[in-house]
């Protein structure tokens, strides 16, 4: 054992002088500590904005063969071999550097054959190898009882243990199964429950990185990156909830969305090829009585796939007129925008971008061209602030037409003519950089630019949906999970995928309901709309050329069941909106795996076919073909069957019947839930009445109301209601009345009676009639 290194302390940062790289520890809060080794990569974080360090008490002392840095929540030990070991405040190990021998996976293949296999196009898993000298890795011990979560949108199961993943934003249309190591997003945050003790690690490095979550060996997991600095944050907290709250404190929280964005949305690649087709969809939604708030316009509305154009010939000469008329029908238009700008000397966006030098370039200085939808295209250099401003300005074309939001696709960035080479010149803010570094933050920067444009030109809370993302993109954009398929494994995957996205900060997320690629069928579509009734983003979307999957496509009984669940969704929108509002402060997701609410319960640590919405709604959908009954695990507490009020005690498995038209749904006993009015669209007009349902015989609830559209709530224009029910006594208070049109009437539905209260303006109180 060599000597302990010297150290230097400046404020809350301590730099330990190790031979190769200094090791820097910064105390941001008592539960967030940054571990940093400067390996020469310049620049700042894309995930973290603003100063996150708070004045925090900590101690640092040498104890025998190591240093101990102690805060109220964490203990970090540093020894002379540069091991970084993290414990919680009571000394439970959380993330301990692995000291044993590596046990490389035996794949029965030697190096020569591995190359041959890869040359044939079959990549050998774990291929992020240390070929490059800038490559590094971090190896941490795994306990026998340790479960791993997070990593954003990755495929597979809730517990990531035993699998490996890459972070390199990728558009791969093959059926995305558990053996896929990468998808569209790079969100390098992972959580562990080690012997029941929660923690998180966020690796803030945009370069290609790899997580082996105990696949190589059950004794350790490791993270590696091909380049950049070693830069990670240790996240503590007494519960998994607190750890996630700390992660979202660091990288930001999903802002309050416009309320209508929680409504049902209809989409299909191809609709927007003509005004008539879109109008027919709107008409059918009305005719078949399916509430809806938005229709998405895929690439076909544009003039030859040129972004920021709208083919007037397809829209009777006036897209604005049509978009306005749709809006009057209660439906917002959400056009798609891809990053690729068509190479065309007669196209103003291209000409302007060339003139200003806003596209990425080959190392020889020529504008880099690859093929996407419009054919030869140039790629905006979104890492540059000026380019983001320019893009935001282009959004005005769409906001002038009156769109409800913007859908960003292909921003991994995807390209048809081979991948963009690593050395293509991209900017890292104003510094010259490479595709190698900027790839994983390309979608992030595009989404941010789009957010800024909408905010500037709409005066509403921007509604952006992006496919590619990096950690922190949740501040700017909703996400969808890309090109899934109409297959049963993908309705199954929806649950762990959206739950892990939620724990990774992205609580506003959804899958393509019904499946994007391949042909859906009546049963799958039915079960999907049931399972997705609480999906934060609720959109049915399908690929061109696949069997139609609009709610009416299969006739009855699909249509009626579909309608029933979309209508149920609208009843729950005030609850979802409340959860989003609470999430702006807590950073907790709307849709949650059970482990998040019950991290002490070993039964729920890899539960993949149940989830919760907030703290009190338990959803246990059927996600297996031909199944009409299922086992439901009820966690601790008492539960009320939503459909018949039957009560169950928790901590047990029950068998429930679930014929095709039933979604098994349970509400925690003694919960109060707001219950939206039956509507066809979320209106911008304030609700005059609100209903609350009581499950059980008592409870309390905080409810939030504002205009649902703009930023006035930030200046106090919102209402905060508190309800309490106790021994049949119902009381409603309005502790904050900043949004003028408070509900005139509030109905509280108890199991055996209704209590109606009305607002008395003179006293600013609710009184029973």
Query: Least CB distance from residue 262 to ligand MIG, whole Å?
Result: 20
Cα 586 from chain centroid (whole Å): 15
Length of the chain: 769
- 141-160 residues in contact with ligand MIG (CB under 6 A) are none
Task: Clarify whether 412 is annotated catalytic.
Answer: yes
Cβ proximity to ligand MIG, 26 vs 272, nearer residue: 272
β-strand pairing of 136-141 with 425-428: unpaired
- Looking at 409, 512, 530, 706, which residue is catalytic? 409
CA distance 453 to 503: 28
Query: Least CB distance from residue 485 to ligand MIG, whole Å?
Result: 12
Cβ proximity to ligand MIG, 483 vs 599, nearer residue: 483
Map tokens 């109060």 to a residue: 672
CA distance 580 to 739: 18
Does residue 311 belong to the site contacting ligand MIG (CB under 6 A)?
no
Which of 230, 290, 299, 524 binds ligand MIG (CB under 6 A)? It is 299
Query: Least CB distance from residue 296 to ligand MIG, whole Å?
Result: 8
Cβ proximity to ligand MIG, 209 vs 486, nearer residue: 486
Cβ proximity to ligand MIG, 482 vs 510, nearer residue: 482
Query: Least CB distance from residue 529 to ligand MIG, whole Å?
Result: 18
CA distance 660 to 11: 62
CA distance 663 to 657: 9
Task: Clarify whether 53 is annotated catalytic.
Answer: no
Cβ proximity to ligand MIG, 42 vs 173, nearer residue: 173
- Looking at 300, 483, 512, 687, which residue is catalytic? 483
- Looking at 412, 512, 530, 610, which residue is catalytic? 412
Of all residues in this chain, which one has the CB nearest to ligand MIG in the complex? 269
- Whether the ω angle into residue 413 lies within 30 degrees of 0, i.e. cis, is yes
CA pseudo-torsion sign 565, 570, 575, 581: positive
Does residue 298 belong to the site contacting ligand MIG (CB under 6 A)?
yes
Cβ proximity to ligand MIG, 337 vs 529, nearer residue: 337
Residues 689 and 661: beta-carbon distance below 8 Å: no
Count of CB atoms situated within 10 Å of the CB of 686: 15
Residues 190 and 148: beta-carbon distance below 8 Å: yes
What is the greatest pairwise CA distance in the chain? 84
Which of 159, 483, 550, 680 binds ligand MIG (CB under 6 A)? It is 483
Query: Least CB distance from residue 415 to ligand MIG, whole Å?
Result: 11
Cβ proximity to ligand MIG, 12 vs 473, nearer residue: 473
The residues facing 13 across adjacent strands are 10, 26
CA distance 495 to 481: 12
Residues 497 and 511: beta-carbon distance below 8 Å: yes
Count of CB atoms situated within 10 Å of the CB of 189: 28
Which of 214, 482, 502, 614 binds ligand MIG (CB under 6 A)? It is 482
Does residue 164 belong to the site contacting ligand MIG (CB under 6 A)?
no
> In whole angstroms, how large is the CA radius of gyration of the chain?
26
Query: Least CB distance from residue 218 to ligand MIG, whole Å?
Result: 36
Q: Sheet holding 539-540: strands in order across?
A: 509-510, 478-480, 464-466, 406-408, 332-337, 294-297, 265-266, 539-540, 512-513
- Mask: binding to ligand MIG, 494-533, rule CB under 6 A, as x and -? ----------------------x-----------------
Which of 264, 269, 675, 739 binds ligand MIG (CB under 6 A)? It is 269
Cβ proximity to ligand MIG, 189 vs 295, nearer residue: 295
Closest to 575 measured CA to CA, from 563, 591, 597: 591
Backbone angles phi, psi at 202, to 5 degrees: -115, 115
DSSP run (H or E) holding 251: helix 240-251
Cβ proximity to ligand MIG, 553 vs 586, nearer residue: 553
Does residue 409 belong to the site contacting ligand MIG (CB under 6 A)?
yes
CA distance 277 to 545: 15
Cβ proximity to ligand MIG, 170 vs 705, nearer residue: 170
Residues in CB range of 688: below 8 A, 6 or more apart = 741, 743, 744, 745
Alpha helices, DSSP H, located in 549-641 = 558-586, 594-597
The residues facing 723 across adjacent strands are 701, 732
- Mask: binding to ligand MIG, 442-481, rule CB under 6 A, as x and -? -------------------------x--------------
Query: Least CB distance from residue 414 to ligand MIG, whole Å?
Result: 7
Residues in CB range of 544: below 8 A, 6 or more apart = 268, 269, 270, 298
Residue 521, judged by CB atoms within 10 A of its CB (0-12, 13-18, 19+), counts as middle
Measured CA to CA in angstroms, residue 388 lies from 236, 309, 430, 471, 502 at distances of: 35, 18, 12, 18, 27
Measured CA to CA in angstroms, residue 131 lies from 128, 134, 136, 226, 307 at distances of: 8, 9, 10, 8, 39
Residues 629 and 656: beta-carbon distance below 8 Å: yes
- 320-339 residues in contact with ligand MIG (CB under 6 A) are 336
Task: Clarify whether 430 is annotated catalytic.
Answer: no
Backbone angles phi, psi at 546, to 5 degrees: -95, 165
- Mask: binding to ligand MIG, 535-564, rule CB under 6 A, as x and -? ------x-----------------------
Cβ proximity to ligand MIG, 462 vs 482, nearer residue: 482
Query: Least CB distance from residue 515 to ligand MIG, whole Å?
Result: 11
Cβ proximity to ligand MIG, 149 vs 269, nearer residue: 269
Closest to 165 measured CA to CA, from 203, 131, 197: 203
Residue 312, judged by CB atoms within 10 A of its CB (0-12, 13-18, 19+), counts as exposed
- Rounding to the nearest 10 degrees, give the CA dihedral for residues 317, 320, 324, 326: 60
Query: Least CB distance from residue 173 to ligand MIG, whole Å?
Result: 7
Does residue 412 belong to the site contacting ligand MIG (CB under 6 A)?
no
CA distance 298 to 483: 14
How many residues bind to ligand MIG according to rule CB under 6 A? Answer: 11
Query: Least CB distance from residue 273 to ligand MIG, whole Å?
Result: 12
Cβ proximity to ligand MIG, 207 vs 269, nearer residue: 269
Residues that bind ligand MIG (CB under 6 A): 269, 298-299, 336, 409-410, 467, 482-483, 516, 541
Residues with catalytic roles: 409, 412, 483
């Amino acid at each position: 054992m060599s000597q302990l290194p010297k150290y230097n302390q400046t404020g809350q940062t301590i730099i330990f002088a190790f031979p190769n790289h200094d090791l820097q520890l910064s105390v941001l809060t008592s539960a967030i500590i940054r571990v940093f080794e400067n390996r020469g990569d310049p620049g700042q974080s894309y995930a973290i904005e603003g100063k996150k360090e708070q004045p925090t008490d900590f101690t640092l002392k040498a104890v025998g063969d190591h240093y101990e840095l102690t805060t109220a929540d964490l203990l970090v030990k540093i020894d002379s071999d540069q091991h970084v070991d993290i414990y919680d405040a009571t000394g439970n190990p959380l993330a301990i550097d692995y000291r044993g021998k590596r046990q490389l996976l035996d794949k029965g293949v030697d190096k020569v054959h591995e190359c041959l296999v890869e040359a044939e196009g079959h990549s050998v898993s774990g291929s992020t190898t240390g070929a490059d000298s800038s490559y590094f890795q971090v190896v941490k011990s795994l306990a026998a009882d340790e479960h791993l979560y997070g990593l954003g949108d990755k495929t597979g199961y809730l517990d990531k243990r035993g699998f490996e993943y890459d972070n390199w934003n990728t558009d791969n249309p093959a059926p995305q199964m558990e053996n896929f190591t990468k998808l569209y997003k790079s969100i390098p945050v992972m959580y562990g429950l080690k012997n029941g003790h929660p923690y998180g690690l966020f690796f803030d490095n945009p370069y290609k990185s790899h997580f082996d979550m105990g696949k190589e060996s059950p004794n350790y997991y490791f993270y590696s990156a091909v380049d950049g600095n070693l830069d990670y944050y240790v996240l503590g907290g007494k519960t998994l909830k607190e750890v996630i709250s700390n992660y979202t404190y660091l990288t930001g929280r999903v802002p309050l969305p416009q309320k209508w964005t929680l409504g049902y949305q209809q989409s299909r690649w191809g609709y927007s090829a003509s005004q008539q087709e879109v109008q027919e969809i709107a008409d059918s939604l009305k005719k078949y009585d399916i509430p809806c708030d938005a229709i998405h316009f895929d690439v076909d509305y544009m003039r030859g796939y040129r972004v920021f154009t709208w083919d007037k010939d397809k829209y009777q000469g006036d897209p604005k007129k049509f978009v306005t008329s749709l809006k009057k029908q209660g439906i917002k238009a959400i056009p798609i925008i891809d990053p690729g700008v068509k190479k065309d000397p007669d196209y103003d966006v291209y000409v302007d971008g060339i003139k200003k030098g806003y596209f990425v370039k080959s190392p020889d200085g020529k504008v880099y061209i690859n093929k996407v939808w419009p054919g030869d295209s140039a790629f905006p250099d979104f890492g540059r602030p000026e380019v983001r401003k320019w893009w935001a300005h282009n959004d005005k074309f769409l906001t002038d037409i009156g769109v409800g939001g913007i859908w960003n696709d292909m921003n991994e960035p995807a390209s048809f003519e081979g991948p963009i080479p690593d050395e293509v010149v991209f900017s890292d803010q104003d510094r010259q950089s490479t595709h190698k570094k900027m790839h994983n933050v390309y979608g992030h920067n595009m989404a941010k630019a789009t957010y800024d444009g909408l905010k500037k030109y709409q005066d509403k809370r921007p509604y952006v949906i992006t496919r590619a993302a990096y950690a922190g993109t949740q501040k700017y954009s909703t996400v969808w999970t890309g090109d899934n398929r109409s297959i049963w494994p993908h309705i199954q995957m929806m649950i762990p995928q959206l739950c892990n996205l939620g724990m990774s900060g992205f609580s506003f997320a959804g899958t393509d309901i019904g499946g994007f690629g391949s042909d859906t069928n009546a049963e799958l579509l039915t079960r999907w709309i049931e399972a997705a009734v609480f999906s934060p983003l609720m959109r049915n979307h399908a690929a061109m050329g696949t069997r139609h999957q609009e709610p009416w496509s299969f006739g009855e009984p699909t249509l009626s069941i579909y309608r029933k669940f979309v209508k149920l969704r609208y009843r729950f929108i005030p609850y979802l909106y409340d959860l989003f509002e609470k999430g702006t402060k807590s950073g907790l997701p709307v849709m949650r795996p059970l482990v998040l609410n019950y991290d002490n319960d070993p039964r729920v640590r890899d539960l993949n076919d149940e989830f919760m919405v907030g703290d009190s709604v338990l959803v246990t959908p059927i996600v297996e073909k031909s199944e009409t009954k299922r086992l439901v695990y009820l966690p601790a507490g008492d539960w009320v069957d939503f459909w018949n009020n039957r009560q169950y005690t928790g901590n047990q498995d029950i068998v429930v019947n679930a014929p095709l038209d039933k979604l098994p749904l349970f509400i925690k006993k003694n919960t109060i839930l707001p219950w939206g009015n039956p509507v066809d669209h979320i209106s911008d007009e304030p609700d005059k009445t609100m209903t609350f349902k009581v499950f059980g015989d008592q409870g309390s609830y905080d409810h939030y109301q504002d205009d649902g559209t703009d930023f006035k709530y930030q200046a106090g224009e919102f209402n905060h209601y508190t309800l309490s029910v106790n021994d049949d006594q119902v009381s409603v208070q309005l502790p904050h009345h900043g949004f003028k049109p408070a509900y005139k009437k509030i109905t509280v539905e108890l199991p055996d009676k209704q209590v109606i209260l009305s607002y008395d303006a003179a006293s600013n109180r609710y009184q029973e009639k």
